[in-house]
Structure 1
Amino acid sequence: MKQSHRLPSGGRIDRHKRLSFTFNGRTYQGFAGDTLASALLANGVHFVARSFKYHRPRGIMTAGVEEPNAVVQLEQGAYAVPNPRATEIELYDGLSATSVNAVPNLEHDRMAAMQKFARFIPAGFYYKTFMWPRSWWGMYEHKIREAAGLGKAPERADVERYEKTFAHCDVLVVGAGPAGLSAAHAAGAAGARVILVDDQREAGGSLLACGATIDGQSGGEWAADMIAALRAMPEVTILARTTAFGYQDHNLVTACERLTDHLPLLARRGVRERLWKIRAGQVILATGAHERPLVFGNNDLPGTMLCSAISAYIHRYGVLPGRRAVLFTNNDSAYQTAIDLRRCGAQVTVIDARPASVGGLSRAAVALGIPVVNEAIVVAAKGARHVRQVTVAAYCNGKPGATLGTYACDLLGVSGGWNPVLHLFAQSGGKAQWHEARACFLPGAGVQAECSVGAANGEFSLAGALRDGVLAGRSAAARTGHTGGEAGTWRAEDVPQAPLQPLWLAGDPARAARGPKQFVDFQNDVAASDIRLAAREGYHSVEHVKRYTAMGFGTDQGKLGNINGMAILAAALGKTIPETGTTTFRPNYTPVTFGTLAGRELGDFLDPIRKTCIHEWHVSQGALFEDVGNWKRPWYYPRADEDMHAAVARECRAARNGVAILDASTLGKIDVQGPDGATLLNWMYTNPWSKLEVGKCRYGLMLDENGMVFDDGVTARLGEQHFLMSTTSGGAARVLNWMERWLQTEWPHLKVHLTSVTDHFATFAVVGPHSRKVLQKVCKDIDFANAAFPFMSFREGTIGGVFTRIMRISFSGELSYEVNVPANMGRMVWDAILAAGREFDITPYGTETMHVLRAEKGYIIVGQDTDGSVTPVDLGMSGLIAKSKDFLGKRSLARAHTAAEGRKQLVGLMTRDPAVVLPEGSQILLAPTQAEIAPMFGHVTSSYMSPTLERSIAMALVKDGFNRMGEEVMVALPGGRFVPAAITSPVFYDSEGVRQHVE
């Protein structure tokens, strides 16, 4: 039975609310306010994990987000969460967690034998060993993947809900410690809109883990009063349990708010996590600092903890992690922990690498009778699954000396100094600079509207943090135009501290590979010997060493180990730490769930489903749908026992011989207005637009910078300064973004505005020899005579009193009109056209029929008959390339490769057997051979059975296709078959274009 380590009083837990939880199948008790880590320590559980590579016993080392060891598998099934840190999991009733990376269980992990071979498995071992024999790689890979990883990905779909939100503020404060609270209060008092973000359940930061007082109040009481004052300010928003994990350009900070993770599973309702995208005028980073561990032999044994973590467990959770402690330090911070332990009745010995400290904390510790051994270091810890004793040696002039003795202990505290949390600052584009006296990197030159305060700026005293916060808050508010109110003033005792003595590797560096492992990165089992080995093997860049050794990988991203690792590398290379540099601080600061990033955009909501105003009518007629971009478009309308081929044949015959109607509302529509509208179109399209008359339409091709076809469509000139563009259905947003990009970056002087009106208008294509007669019945105020309403023009009138713009254009090769009406009146107009066409047996048709009709005429579809490597010349559309003006992509058309002979060109294909429909994408061979390897000369882009021609037709891109007319090629089919086909013109029907100009 484990001995309880819960103190009889103290802590910020609710001792009236007892909670039950399980860890590795055993049931334990905790209290509301505990974390999983604090509850385990209270129950005497230190050994909670196995290390990643060597499967060594590992214990809880920290009390915060920097925890490298206590990574667990939380819950099961639909609620499973892989790899959260026990130090961040708020305890709730019924919580269930297990250790990761241990099979069959933590105590009897079968991979624990790897510890015995650790000497033979240094950094780079896998790179060097599993290269031979090469044929064995498949077996190696399977075993390596089986052994790799920590937690297990959930096997069931997540049942929780996630969402995203956007916010704007004058001042964003990240961190609710003493510096952050004072900064937020100062900015809020000045009248600024403030958002305060903190990752803890309650504000206070370091104040909650120490006995400091402010103006005579305890730190916790002062923090609670500050939060109450901030909540009373109408322009202040406080986000608790919210981690700011990314700092992007233009002061955009992304944060994850955890709303229900602290509740029992059955009590969770609503949104679990919310992603905040916060755009701030000024950002104040009060992100604090992480305490550094010290590097010595077996420094990873369970029972080894950061000194600040020990104090945090005492003050916040009422937990005494050990009763016989040794604290190893090179600075004064550890003495506060020694005082905290002694006041709880623990035996404490301090091992200080420095000569006798003259700081206030060290004097207070000595006054309490705490033994201090100066100019000494811990060179090794001993124990099996828990630290039992440490070996101490003399330390003088930066070198270890004779062994001074061993000290029995059940708790080993380490403190190697402090690292300001620079992650968000670095992500913002700022550069860190080394501070020699404080032996840490501090924020240097920034590039965005931000500043760092308190410990994040290297100000480790409480009085200094409060002062920093007030000044930063007032300054940030003033920069956003808020200078009202009065800033608060608070007093805290400024305890003098003796200087830190940098200590990166305790022990003889030359013996780093021969003695017990001296760990730098605990999560990835990177030891000092690995870093020195990397340096010997020529890896001198810290980024290269990171990848060779895996230092700084994993979920803690090197928060504890990277500075020690950089210092050890610098020593091995004979360089200074600034010369060696830092690794890159990348988002995310802490892991973020996929659910948070996805929000509600899952399953059917991954993309918005867009429907036209006629959608329900299509459903009522039994239409089958296909997705075109985000749109649901009718594919075809089967009747009775018709399959797709029969339905498409019937719809095609109606369009060619009678009248048919297509819902084309999904076509992209962009309204272009302004005196420079024609100028913009001249730049965007290959053909000229300045002389297009009002009332006329023109087809245009749009290219990218490489001269490749980007989009196409018909544009109508509605007025001298007003155009209406059409684009492909799936390309509307892409084309609008493309045009806006050029307008805003290269041509901001052009006086033109673009507006998407795709959803504003419903568009119906009325097609076929009887289309004119149908429209004449419903639109009396337009003269449909050929002379009055010629091809490629438009007229405006009304249908049933509804404003109507009708364009005489054709994507079918038949007499055809596109009717455009306001979308909210679309269904009424659709019904009116159907009623007028009933005597002509008007037939609705879908996208499959549309494709067949356009393919019979050789009309292209961008994205199907083009693939990003096709120019207008390749399509046989040289006539659309203006010689008298410049346009996007024109110069690229003259490049040697683009203008070379032998390029793939658009042609038609007619199979020798008219019943064979070629699969789209089929490869084309010139020689009639079935050789195993044959050169590919092209591929099929579009292929259909033509009801009009009563045979199959296809379009293809073939090398030098224009010069191969009449040649026979072989088309490869699945299963190894080959089909002969002749290269023809891509226009299979009405090559003269008579039918669309019919009187």
Structure 2
Amino acid sequence: MTGWRHPSAGSEIDRARALTFRFDGQSFTGYRGDTLASALLASGQRCIGRSFKYHRPRGLWGMGAEEPNAIVDLRDGADVEPNARATLTPLKDGMELRSVNAWPNARRDIFGWMDLAHRFIPAGFYYKTMMRLPWKFYEPLIRRAAGLGRLDGTHAPPADCPRQVANCDVLVIGAGPAGLAAARAAARRGKRVWLVEDAHRAGGALRWRSGVIDEAPWQDFVHQTQDDIANAGGRVMMDTTLWAAFDHGTFAAWQRGPLDTLWRIRATETIVAAGAIERPLWFANNDRPGVMSAEAALFYLTCHGVLPGRRVLLATASDRSTAIASALGAAGAEVILVDARPDAPDVENVEHIKGARVTAAHGRSGVTAASLGKRRIACDAILCAGGMTPTVHLWCQAGGKLDWDATRDVLVPRPGTAPMVVIGGANGTLDLPSALAEGHRAGGGEGAPPFATGAATAGIALRPDPALPGRQWIDMQNDVTLKDVALAHREGFRSVEHLKRYTTLGMATDQGRSSNFAGLAAMADLTGKTIPETGTTTYRPPFKPTPLNLIGGPWRGDLYHAPKRLALEEAHASRGARFREYGGWLRPSVYGAGDEAALAQDEARTARQTVAIFDASPLGKLEVIGPRAAELLDFTSYIRMSTVRPGRARYGFNLSESGVVYDDGVVLRLEDTRFIVSASSSHVDGVRFALEDARQDRVGRGAVFIHDVTQAYTTLTVTGPRASTLLADAGIVLPVMPHMSVLETKWQHAPLRVARISFTGDVSYELSVPTRYGEGLRAALDSALGAHEGRWIGLEAVMILRAEKGYILIGKDTDGLTMPHDLGWGGPRDRREDEYLGKRSLFTEAANSERRRQLVGLTVPPGAPPLPTGAHLVPQDGQRRSLGFVTSSYLSPTLGRPIALALLEAGQSRIGETVKVFDNGAIYDATVAAACSFDPKGERLHG
């Protein structure tokens, strides 16, 4: 047996609140305040899981996110969590735990025989052995063996994970001594500080190492700091993991509680005080249950009253271990301190062996002895103190680089390479006085920093020794040994990233926290390079495993990609509107009861004969303002916009870098330095992002400002031969406006923007007012509508009207290859000499192929039905080769016949030809025509 509970120690457990739980079918008892790890350790459970590849028995190693072994499948009432890290999960009454990657349990795993075959399955074996047979032979075997825990297919995780967005002046990540000092200093300067801590209590290493700050217990310092933060309007968040760093000072955080919450926090200043983790030591069988981090052992003793064994061997090369050995000895354990330094200082009341290193651990299911060369010492736990590694994951996620500090034997952040400041253990500063001073400076503190006694600890660097016999484990979860690193070196995989992928080093759920340093050091030694020359791997989000339902949030089921709603939705509904989703918006399709297709025909007919109104509010409205706005739009538009006069509008395209049409729309020039870019309702965000990218890369942030005001305005379009008279009757008196003009005026004290542009081919006025005036505008237009025999129309009628004119709908009448000249807009490509987005791609060989698909119209023989949308166009000779496809097809009430648009190979040169249309086994005839089938001269547009 190993692990036992001290009768009185344990500052964070409540011995009056006993909790029961089950592990692999056995019942155990813990206390409120325990983690799963501390409760299992106190219950004498040595083997908690099995390793991924060889199914070797594994026990508890660490105390936090660095834990590679103690992972369990957890059931807490109706809640199920696979692969829960025991070190981070609070114990609750009635929990049911199951070991992972083992059957029937961790103690008696029938797959343990795989360790006997380790010679035949070294690192990278699959690259060599899985080539002899087809992949479909190996895939089922690999899938059955892959993974650690198992999902419960009947369990649905909670769907109600809220999301919160916040900002602060100073974000401090980590509530250890350095982080607390920085937060206090910033708060006392009046800054709004958010202090975020992964643990359930503040204090960091003070919780188990204790300390006196400003001549008072460290708890007083914590409480004072929290009060200062609250008084300055800040916030302290415990049980919150900062799991990702993004651009522009934005971070993602997971706050645990009755309802897990996903926070998106944006900070003006960021201070990282994420601490450091202890490295293991490397010797034969260093993965056996009972081999454990020395720092973790002190943590479990101080906070939970748990000792890792009765007779403990502590292997070290640093003065940091002195306090650990003394504490364990005072708690009743028999301690043997093995220090690799021949001149190590003496430690009282502890058996002390100097100038020696552990070379092997003994025992099958757990440690029973340790070898120091030829000497063998009986023990039931081996505690390892191999030095400290700064936690720099968030720094590297933000693009920060690392420097090697040989004096402290650590990789530390290189100042200025990421927009944050790193302090304390994360910066390699491990002694309390220096950490407090560093935090005080980072927070902008004035005067003397918090005072504490202490001194920097001395130690020597320890490295894996390839001369030792036996297997030395580097990555304990993924079963990577020192010999695997040597094998990768022999086979040419010497780059850090190649080493990582060939051996899977650092690719486990702990992200290499306890393994990466050893792997880098081993490869550096094999290649004769230094660690900085060898390089480091890339850290990516998340910092630790994060629930997918948290990231997904509430957006599932009916809320998944929930459509936007019109401000006038109730008014449309009162008129009998039927709603459907178009471009991410819930919009009227038709008005009234009955057959939808027939209603759409009637609405389109009315729009051509008299007048109609439709709600065009979802049309994107992006304000582009600034002295270089015209220059920006010239670069992002296929058609030059700088030559548009104020008060006028111009139609154009936005291209991707590949020259493909991404969106189309009209640009309104209101003033010399102010434009409105309209975008398709589904492409507003994409067009805005393209403008933002170009703004930052070409004109600078201060020269142009971009605002998405789509939902700030209600836009109603009045279209048809009687549009002008309806406006006059509604009290909207306008001067004569030519087609493609724009006017800003007032209507009943409301700002009104009128754009004389058309999506129907008839005289049209787009009327835009701030949303709060939308209902008044609707009522005014509505009151005049009946006198002109007009009606409200839905999107189905609008689609018919635009197709009659040959107006395209991006994504429907274009595909992922369509370029502007395929749509008949080749002029700008031939004339423009300046640079614009996508220009170079328009001159490639593929872009100029004679077989490109071009936009055309299709007509059918008299009496034939409309062509099926999506049907393929095929050659007349009966070949089943697709020449293109039908993109839009309708029965035109205006023309009294079907119309269609299509993308056809070399379509412009085929106008007048007959083609076959193939759909679902049926073949139709069609004649290629111009895309515009109604009013080709545009006479109706001008009234």
After TM superposition, the score normalised by the length of structure 2 is 0.91
In 2, Cα distance between the equivalents of 1:894 and 1:794? 35
Matched with 1:73 is: 73
Would the alpha carbon gap of residues 445 and 693 (structure 1) be closer, same or farther in structure 2, given more than 3 Å must change?
Answer: closer
Matched with 2:928 is: 983
Q: How far did 1:609 drift?
A: 3.5
Matched with 1:398 is: none
Matched with 1:245 is: 243
Question: Which of 747, 764, 780 is equivalent to 2:716?
Answer: 764
1:966 aligns with 2:912: yes
What amino acid is aligned across from residue 241 of structure 1 in structure 2?
A: D
Matched with 1:175 is: 174
* Contact 2:339 2:352 survives alignment (8 Å): yes
In 2, Cα distance between the equivalents of 1:545 and 1:685? 46
* Contact 1:923 1:940 survives alignment (8 Å): yes
Matched with 2:428 is: 458
Q: Summarize deviations over 1:892-950 as a string: whole Å, max 9, x none.
A: 4455543454332111123458645444444333353255xx3x332332222333444
Task: List aligned pairs for 1:744-759, cutoff 5 A.
Answer: 744-748=696-700, 754-759=706-711
1:855 aligns with 2:803: yes
Matched with 2:301 is: 314
Q: How far did 1:560 drift?
A: 0.7
Q: How far did 1:312 drift?
A: 1.3
In 1, Cα distance between the equivalents of 2:642 and 2:295? 73
In 1, Cα distance between the equivalents of 2:266 and 2:643? 48
Q: How far did 1:715 drift?
A: 4.4
Q: How far did 1:52 drift?
A: 1.1
Matched with 2:903 is: 957
Matched with 1:470 is: 437
Matched with 2:254 is: 256
1:414 aligns with 2:406: no
Matched with 1:196 is: 195
Task: List aligned pairs for 1:225-236, cutoff 5 A.
Answer: 226-227=224-225, 230=228, 233-234=231-232
Structure 2, gaps ≥5 residues long: none
Question: Which of 559, 573, 597 is equivalent to 2:513?
Answer: 559
When structure 1 is superposed on structure 2, of 754-763 and 55-64 the one drifting more is: 754-763
Matched with 2:267 is: 279
Would the alpha carbon gap of residues 140 and 704 (structure 1) be closer, same or farther in structure 2, given more than 3 Å must change?
Answer: closer
Q: How far did 1:978 drift?
A: 4.0
In 2, Cα distance between the equivalents of 1:579 and 1:881? 49
Matched with 2:874 is: 925
Would the alpha carbon gap of residues 942 and 316 (structure 1) be closer, same or farther in structure 2, given more than 3 Å must change?
Answer: same
* Contact 2:277 2:390 survives alignment (8 Å): yes
Q: Summarize deviations over 1:514-547 as a string: whole Å, max 9, x none.
A: x4x3211011111112111111111111211111
Q: How far did 1:548 drift?
A: 0.7
What amino acid is aligned across from residue 953 of structure 1 in structure 2?
A: I
* Contact 1:439 1:502 survives alignment (8 Å): no
In 1, Cα distance between the equivalents of 2:9 and 2:364? 32
Would the alpha carbon gap of residues 326 and 988 (structure 1) be closer, same or farther in structure 2, given more than 3 Å must change?
Answer: same
In 2, Cα distance between the equivalents of 1:772 and 1:986? 28
Would the alpha carbon gap of residues 345 and 780 (structure 1) be closer, same or farther in structure 2, given more than 3 Å must change?
Answer: closer
When structure 1 is superposed on structure 2, of 537-546 and 583-592 the one drifting more is: 583-592
Would the alpha carbon gap of residues 290 and 740 (structure 1) be closer, same or farther in structure 2, given more than 3 Å must change?
Answer: closer
In 1, Cα distance between the equivalents of 2:185 and 2:901? 70
In 2, Cα distance between the equivalents of 1:230 and 1:544? 48
In 2, Cα distance between the equivalents of 1:749 and 1:453? 31
Question: Which of 409, 433, 452 is equivalent to 1:491?
Answer: 452
In 1, Cα distance between the equivalents of 2:687 and 2:44? 63
Matched with 2:145 is: 147
Question: Which of 821, 825, 847 is equivalent to 1:877?
Answer: 825
Question: Which of 665, 675, 678 is equivalent to 1:713?
Answer: 665
* Contact 1:22 1:96 survives alignment (8 Å): yes
1:88 aligns with 2:36: no
1:726 aligns with 2:724: no
After TM superposition, the score normalised by the length of structure 1 is 0.86
Structure 1, gaps ≥5 residues long: 261-267, 394-402
1:864 aligns with 2:812: yes
Q: How far did 1:707 drift?
A: 4.5
Would the alpha carbon gap of residues 118 and 950 (structure 1) be closer, same or farther in structure 2, given more than 3 Å must change?
Answer: farther
Would the alpha carbon gap of residues 796 and 925 (structure 1) be closer, same or farther in structure 2, given more than 3 Å must change?
Answer: same
* Contact 1:252 1:280 survives alignment (8 Å): no
In 2, Cα distance between the equivalents of 1:204 and 1:675? 52
Would the alpha carbon gap of residues 880 and 842 (structure 1) be closer, same or farther in structure 2, given more than 3 Å must change?
Answer: farther
Matched with 1:594 is: 548
* Contact 1:778 1:800 survives alignment (8 Å): no
What amino acid is aligned across from residue 573 of structure 2 in structure 1?
A: V
Would the alpha carbon gap of residues 238 and 724 (structure 1) be closer, same or farther in structure 2, given more than 3 Å must change?
Answer: closer
Matched with 1:372 is: 352
Matched with 1:397 is: none
Q: 3-state DSSP class of the match of 2:73?
A: strand
Question: Which of 269, 274, 281 is equivalent to 1:294?
Answer: 281
In 2, Cα distance between the equivalents of 1:177 and 1:681? 50
In 1, Cα distance between the equivalents of 2:117 and 2:701? 69
Would the alpha carbon gap of residues 919 and 196 (structure 1) be closer, same or farther in structure 2, given more than 3 Å must change?
Answer: same
Matched with 1:24 is: 24
When structure 1 is superposed on structure 2, of 864-873 and 84-93 the one drifting more is: 864-873
Q: How far did 1:559 drift?
A: 0.7
Matched with 1:327 is: 314
Q: 3-state DSSP class of the match of 2:87?
A: coil
In 2, Cα distance between the equivalents of 1:947 and 1:658? 14
Matched with 1:520 is: 474
* Contact 1:332 1:500 survives alignment (8 Å): no
In 2, Cα distance between the equivalents of 1:767 and 1:228? 62
Q: Summarize deviations over 1:185-205 as a string: whole Å, max 9, x none.
A: 344445544433322222222
Q: 3-state DSSP class of the match of 2:384?
A: strand
1:898 aligns with 2:828: no
In 2, Cα distance between the equivalents of 1:409 and 1:749? 65
* Contact 1:856 1:953 survives alignment (8 Å): yes
What amino acid is aligned across from residue 466 of structure 1 in structure 2?
A: P
Q: How far did 1:550 drift?
A: 0.6
In 1, Cα distance between the equivalents of 2:628 and 2:492? 60
Q: Summarize deviations over 1:91-121 as a string: whole Å, max 9, x none.
A: 2333333222223433443433322222221
Q: 3-state DSSP class of the match of 1:128?
A: helix
* Contact 2:860 2:898 survives alignment (8 Å): yes
Q: How far did 1:125 drift?
A: 1.7
Quick one: percent identity of the two aligned structures?
39
Would the alpha carbon gap of residues 279 and 617 (structure 1) be closer, same or farther in structure 2, given more than 3 Å must change?
Answer: same
Q: 3-state DSSP class of the match of 1:377?
A: coil
Q: How far did 1:54 drift?
A: 1.4
Would the alpha carbon gap of residues 887 and 616 (structure 1) be closer, same or farther in structure 2, given more than 3 Å must change?
Answer: farther
CA RMSD of the aligned region, Å? 3.4
* Contact 1:178 1:223 survives alignment (8 Å): no
In 2, Cα distance between the equivalents of 1:320 and 1:817? 80
Would the alpha carbon gap of residues 754 and 78 (structure 1) be closer, same or farther in structure 2, given more than 3 Å must change?
Answer: same
Question: Which of 561, 585, 589 is equivalent to 1:631?
Answer: 585
What amino acid is aligned across from residue 83 of structure 1 in structure 2?
A: N
1:571 aligns with 2:521: no
What amino acid is aligned across from residue 597 of structure 1 in structure 2?
A: I
Q: Summarize deviations over 1:703-761 as a string: whole Å, max 9, x none.
A: 45555434333445556666554332223343344334434542359976554443344
Q: How far did 1:862 drift?
A: 2.5
Q: 3-state DSSP class of the match of 1:340?
A: helix
What amino acid is aligned across from residue 181 of structure 1 in structure 2?
A: L
In 2, Cα distance between the equivalents of 1:576 and 1:780? 78
Matched with 1:582 is: 536
Q: 3-state DSSP class of the match of 1:477?
A: coil
Matched with 1:541 is: 495
Matched with 1:657 is: 609
* Contact 2:3 2:45 survives alignment (8 Å): no
* Contact 2:193 2:229 survives alignment (8 Å): no
